[in-house]
Structure formats: structure tokens, C-alpha cells
A and B are shown apart, each in its own frame.
Chain A
Amino acid sequence: MPSIEPVDLQSVWLTLKLASVTTLILLGVATPLAWWLAHNRHWYKGIVSAVVALPLVLPPTVLGFYLLLLMGPRGAVGELTQALNLGRLPFTFAGLVIGSVLFSLPFAVQPIQNAFEAIGKRPLEVAATLRAGVWDRFFSVALPLARPGFLTAMILAFAHTVGEFGVVLMLGGSIPGETRVLSVAIYSHVEAMEYGAAHVLAGGMVAFSFLVLLGLYLLGGKAKT
């Protein structure tokens, strides 16, 4: 029976932490963005949609590369964080979170946007004629009706963050306890010919991913009936 090494366990926890923090932040970022995209008819909606969807098609290394430049000592964000005495973001957990949020953004925005669009204007108009103000309408009508979209968004964002590799490698390196997430740990084990340890982590990932998708489809099937 293969057992997990303490340093790998640390990677597992770090990955879960990264995915949880990323998912929470994404909920906060993606919800207003999805709302805006669902209710906007301006020509520039297309531009915003394209930018949001960009991480779907970009190689993660490209995203990681530009983030590294941007957050590095000479990058605009890097200069800002240094001026604010926050230090530099690359090769830190905070830097990883920023990278993950951008990388998984479309996976969070699109299901929520679809859910908002499917609701349409009518239920919100009905709520307005029943004296509900803007926020009241959002929380009492839009959110509950969009719940399946939010669940999908959370699961996808979480799972996608767990599985990311390219962005992390470019932006975080492999510092144990700080940036050495699961995918990076597996890569390191394989490079060091430690196939046993790699199997434990990789097999665990397969099982995890399958369970997430299974949950998603069972949930989706339930929502339709």
C-alpha cells in the first residue's frame, strides 16, 4: 500500500487552499461580471466577453509569462505592490491566487452568465412591481433562480484550479508550503524518477476529477427534472 509523504501532503493541502480561495474570490468577481454581460447590449460587450474567454484558448504558459512580467519588479503591478510595501507577488501564494483567478475566470463567469440569461427580465420585473428594490430583486429572485449556474461555476472553478500547471509553474515555481501545488509535485516526482509517489498523487487526482464531474452531471440531471 503506497503511502503519502508529508511534503506531498503539504502539497495537497496547499492545492485545496489555493482552489478554495480562488473559488471564493471568483464568486465575488464573476457574479457582477456575469450580471453585466447578461444584461448588457452594448457593442463593447463583445470585447469584454472575448477578454474573459481568453484563458480558455491561451496556453497557460502564455498567461503565466505575462503575469510574471506584469507582477515582476519592473512590471506595472510589481511597481505598485512594491510602492505599497507589499513586496513582490511572483513565487508567493498571493501571486498564485491572482494567476488562478484569471486562469479560471471563464469557467466561473460563463455558467453564471448563462443562468442569468436563462432567467430573463420577466421575474425581475415582476419583483419590481411587488416593491422589491434592485438588491432585493437580486438576492430574492436572481440568485435563487441562478443557483444551478452558481454550483456549476464553483465546481468548475475549483476543479480547474486544482488541475492547473502551466500558470503555477511560470508564476510560482515549486516552493514547498508556498507554491508547490499537487500538479507541480507530481511533475517533480516524475522528473526525479519517483514513480511510486507520483502514482499516489496522480491516481488521487484522477479519482478526485472523476468524482467532481460525476457530482456535476448528477446535479445537472437533477436540475433539469
Chain B
Amino acid sequence: MIHAHFTLSHPNFSLDAEFQAPAVGVTALFGVSGSGKTTLLRCIAGLERAKGSLQVNGEIWQDDQTFLPTHQRPLGYVFQEASLFPHLSVRANLEYGYKRIKPAERKVPLDQVVSWLGLEHLIARGDPAQLSGGERQRVAIGRALLTSPRILLMDEPLSALDSASKQEILPYLEGLHRELAIPVLYVSHAMEEVTRLADHLVLLQQGRVIASGALHETLARLDLPLAAFDDAGTVIEARVAQHDEPYHLTRLDFSGGTLWVGKVDQALGMPVRARVLARDVSIAIHAPQGSSITNILIARITELRDEGVDKVMVKLSLGDCHILLSRITRRSRDHLQLVAGMEVFAQVKSVALM
């Protein structure tokens, strides 16, 4: 468990942020720029000195009496720009932190990181200046992991990269879950990255934490500014259940129903995360007949909230724990007389696989 509470006051910015996050999986610190997410991350690393307290897995890193300096905190930090040391070779960069921890504490072997991140040929090139942006960031991630951190802090590690480099790095970030059981705090302002990577979401606004919780629940909260985003939506954790080879489709099962999506290159039973945007879900009160839409799910309306003058956001529950959002017009709501508790048919026009 990570428990953090920091207060900081600058002339034009103040931070008063408190949150708890599980010590497993990826926790996203999400907010617009200027919301204080990077400052909060820097406080956690001890790079910024704020008043407050910080506990990581029961260890006190900071309170009224204690302030562990950064180099004594067992963390890894990946900065926005890779920040490789220009005077050291790629290999020496990787080994910089590795050499500074006691051999007994080296839980992440050098060869494992090198082969997992595909760094062999980057090491062979020698000089960090010879690497592309994405390659440099990969080395920086490896360098941070090699300190065997108990928590990995990442400050928008993809934001300085072009989209090709992003696609190159993302699979590794997703793999962090599986490969290494290290909790990650991930600062981002990109919803797509968050929905793809995070399990837990901490939402920041003007230096304050306005919400914190499991990703799929927090995304579905209508009282948060997230719901007003154009790309508001929810995620569904499903499993690959069937491949329809002739039609090139894959069926995903989850406890609230099934979704047919374009062919997924995953074996049966593999977990997949699907993202459904509110603008891609429409509602029918009778079972649609002769519709081209394949994915029609039985759902129950749990909440409705007006959005602006013409739109309504509808929260739909599927089974026990899955949620969809649907953005419809106010007129549709009145026509169909939609109210909480009603059973309806949710038509899903598009599903994005993460």
C-alpha cells in the first residue's frame, strides 16, 4: 500500500494531495497539465521537498520527523525525456544504478532486463547520442529497473516521443505488470495511455486529488470531470473465448456478456482489455431487430446525468461489476422515458482493444 499526503505552496500553485494506492499494478496519476501530477510524483521521489507524509509498503519515507533523501529511497524513476548520461556509454548508463545497490539487493538480473527490453544491439552501439528517442527511453526504463526498485515512478515517459516510438515502448510498459511484480505510479495526461496501462486511477485537479479508485469504477463515475471528456468511456476486462476464422472475428467473454471484435492475435483464455467510448454506445428499449450492430448487451440503467443543454450521460451496468457509459441526447432520454432501474439494450458500435 502506498499512502501519500503532501502540501506545498508556491506563489501561483498549491498542492494539497492525499491518496492511497495498492502496491500492485499500475496507478495512474491523471490530470491536465498544471494539475500538479508531476509535482506530486517528484514529492514521492523526494526530488521536491513538500510538507507531508509518505508510506510505501509500511515503510516511512517521509513524515514530520523523517525525510529520506532520494538516493536512499528504493525507487526507480523514468523522466519525461530519457536523460541518459551523455558522458557514459549505454552499458555504463544501465549499470549506473545497478552498481550502486548491494549485490544481495539485486533482484532484477542485468541479462533479464537487457533481453526483455531488447537492449543488446543498443549496448553495442555504445554512445547514447547514437540512439533514437524511443531507444533512449527504453534504456532509461532498463536503467531504472536495474536498481530493483520497490516502486517505479514514471513521469509521462511517452509524451516526448513520436507515435511510432510510443507504439514501440507501450508493449514493454504493459509487460511490466507480468514480467516484474513492481508497482508503478504513472503520470499522464493522455487518456489512451491511462486506459491501456492503469489498474488504478488517481485524478488530480488544481493540486488536489478529486478521485481515486479502481480504473473501471473511476472512469464510470458521472460526478467527475472525466465523464465530460469527448472520449469518456469505460474499460472491460474480458477473455478471448472464440475465434471466427472465416469472418475474421474474435469473441470476448466477460461476466456481463460477450463482445465480438476484430480478430485478436491471442490464444483462447488470454485476458484482454477493451475500451468502449460513451459516444459509441446507443440505447434501445426493445431488442433491436435487423440491426447491423453485432454487439447488443442487456444492461440496467443505474444513473443519468445531464450534460450541457442537449446531452445526457447514462451509466449502464452489465452483470455484477462491468459498466458502460452511453452519451445520448436529452430528447432521446425523454422520448424513451429512460429512468434509473430500467432494463435496456445497449448497442455498442465500436470497441477498442488495448
Interface residues of B in 70-89 (CB under 8 A from A): 70-72, 75-77, 79, 81, 83, 85-87
**B147 to chain A: which residues have CB within 8 Å?**
130-131
Interface residue count on the B side (C-beta < 8 Å): 24
A75-134, CB < 8 A from B: 122-123, 125-133
Q: How far is the CA of A186 from the CA of B77 in the complex (A)?
A: 61
Q: Please, which residues of chain A bring their CB within 8 A of the CB of B81?
A: 122
Q: Is B47 an interface residue (CB 8 A)?
A: yes
Contact of B83 among A122, A136, A144 (CB under 8 A): A122
Interface presence of B252 (CB below 8 A) = no
A contact residues, total (Cβ < 8 Å): 17
Is A125 a contact of B100 with CB atoms below 8 Å? no
B97 at the interface (CB under 8 A from A): yes
Q: Is B45 an interface residue (CB 8 A)?
A: yes
Q: CB of A145 within 8 A of chain B?
A: yes
Given contacts A125-B47, A125-B70, contact A131 B83 (CB under 8 A): no
Cβ contact within 8 Å between B144 and A127: no
Contact A129 B100 (CB under 8 A): no
Residue pair B75, A144 in contact (C-beta under 8 Å): no
Closest to B101 in A: A131
The answer to whether A216 has its CB under 8 Å from any CB of chain B is no
Instruction: Let me know if A122 and B69 touch, CB within 8 A.
Output: no
Asked whether A128 and B100 contact (CB < 8 A) given A123-B83, A123-B85, the answer is: no
Considering residues A122, A125, A133, which has the most beta carbons from chain B within 10 angstroms of its beta carbon?
A125
Chain A residue, CB-CB nearest to B84? A126
Find out whether the CB atom of B79 lies under 8 angstroms from the CB atom of A126.
yes
Q: How far is the CB of B307 from chain A (nearest CB, A)?
A: 42
A63 at the interface (CB under 8 A from B): no
Known: A122-B79, A136-B100. A129 touches B87 (CB 8 A): no
Q: Which residues of A (128-153) have their CB < 8 Å from a CB of B?
A: 128-133, 136-137, 140-141, 144-145
Interchain CA distance A136-B72 in the complex, whole Å = 13
| B294-339 contacts to A (CB < 8 Å) | none
For the complex, is B172 an interface residue (Cβ under 8 Å from A)? no
Contacts of A123 in B (CB 8 A): 83, 85
Instruction: Report Cα–Cα, A132/B153, bound state, in Å.
Output: 17
Q: Are B77 and A129 in contact (CB under 8 A)?
A: yes
- B85, A129: Cβ atoms closer than 8 Å: no
Q: A145 to B83: give the CA distance in the assembly, Å.
A: 13
From B46, B71, B85, B153, give the contact of A131 (CB < 8 A): B71
In the assembled complex, the CB of B52 is this many whole angstroms from the nearest CB of chain A, namely 19
Contact A130 B96 (CB under 8 A): yes
Are B83 and A126 neighbours in the complex by a CB distance under 8 Å? yes
Q: How far is the CA of A131 from the CA of B106 in the complex (A)?
A: 13
Interface string of B20-37 (1 = CB under 8 A from A): 000000000000000000
Give min CB distance, B130 to chain A, whole Å: 15
Whole-angstrom CA separation of A140 from B85 in the bound complex: 10
In the bound complex, CA of A193 to CA of B340 (Å): 111
Q: Which residues of B contact A140 (CB under 8 A)?
A: 96
Collect the chain B residues with CB atoms within 8 Å of residue A122's CB. 79, 81, 83
Contacts of B243 in A (CB 8 A): none
B143 sits at the interface (CB 8 A): yes
CB within 8 Å of A: which B28-58 residues: 45-47
| Chain A residues within an 8 Å CB radius of B143 | 130
Among candidates B75, B86, B101, residue contacting A129 with C-beta atoms closer than 8 Å = B75
List of A residues within 8 angstroms of B153 by Cβ: 129
Cross-chain contact A144 with B87 (CB below 8 angstroms): yes
Chain B residues 91 to 148 lying within 8 A of chain A, measured CB to CB, are: 96-97, 100-101, 143-144, 147
A126, A131, A141: which contacts B100 (Cβ < 8 A)?
A: A131
Query: B71 and A128: CB pair below 8 A?
Result: yes
A127 to chain B: which residues have CB within 8 Å? 71, 85, 96
Inside 8 A of A128's CB, which chain B residues have their CB?
A: 46-47, 69-71
Q: Which residues of A contact B72 (CB under 8 A)?
A: 131
Give the distance in Å from the alpha carbon of A144 to the alpha carbon of B101 in the complex: 22
Decide if A130 touches B100 in the complex (CB within 8 Å): yes
Which residue of the partner chain, among A133, A141, A144, contacts B71 with CB atoms under 8 Å? A133
Closest partner residue, chain A, to B46 (CB atom): A128
B233: min CB distance to chain A, Å: 34
Tell me, in angstroms, the Cα distance from A145 to B79 when the chains sit together: 19
| Alpha-carbon distance between A128 and B47 when the two chains are bound, in angstroms | 8
Measured between beta carbons, the chain B residues less than 8 angstroms from A136 are 71, 100
For the complex, give the distance between the alpha carbons of A127 and B79 in Å: 12
Closest residue on chain A to residue B81 by CB atoms:
A122
Q: How far is the CA of A132 from the CA of B95 in the complex (A)?
A: 12
Q: Is the CB of B85 within 8 A of A126?
A: yes
- Indicate if the CB atoms of A129 and B96 lie closer than 8 Å: no
Pairs across A and B, CB under 8 Å, 12 listed: A122-B79, A126-B79, A126-B85, A128-B47, A128-B71, A129-B76, A129-B144, A130-B97, A132-B96, A132-B97, A141-B87, A144-B87
Given contacts A127-B71, A129-B97, 12 further A-B contacts (CB under 8 A): A125-B79, A126-B79, A126-B83, A129-B77, A130-B97, A130-B147, A131-B71, A132-B100, A133-B69, A136-B71, A136-B100, A140-B96
Residues of B that sit less than 8 Å from A by CB? 45-47, 69-72, 75-77, 79, 81, 83, 85-87, 96-97, 100-101, 143-144, 147, 153
The 8 closest A-B pairs by CB, nearest first: A130-B97, A129-B77, A128-B70, A131-B100, A144-B87, A126-B83, A128-B71, A131-B71
